[in-house]
Amino acid sequence: MRTEFQKLEDLIDMNQGLLTSLGVSHPSLNQIIDICKINGLHAKLTGAGGGGYAFAVIPPAFEKQSVDKCVEELERAKYKVYRDLKLGGPGFELKVENETAM
């Protein structure tokens, strides 16, 4: 049975495939994704595409040495790597003041 994290990895791969088929990826992003994939990580573009940013998810039990190897390969290919980012926020909030308007 696939774990929730493995399902997330599958969705990342599917989404990137769809973005590539729509033509919104970029050769640089494809190279980043390939480097991550070779190193056992799942990655996709984020933002508007066309050469912007990509992110990779790191499984909970993934070895630090494997992350370091992937980072070294990305940096060797002249990509800037941001590590240990803290993401999060309140997200989307909808406040209904007048229910009759809905």
- pTM of the model as a whole: 0.80
- Residue 57's identity, in one-letter code, is V
CATH number for 27: 3.30.70.890
- Residue 46: give the domain boundaries: 4-101
More confident residue, 78 or 100: 78
- Is the pLDDT score of 42 beyond 70? yes
Residue 20 has what pLDDT? 93
For the segment 39-54, the average pLDDT, to the nearest whole number, is 85
Strands of 1-102, DSSP E: 42-46, 53-57
The count of domains in the chain is 1
- For residue range 48-75, list pLDDT tens digits in order: 656 589 999 999 999 999 999 999 999 9
Give residue 28's Cα distance to chain centre.
14
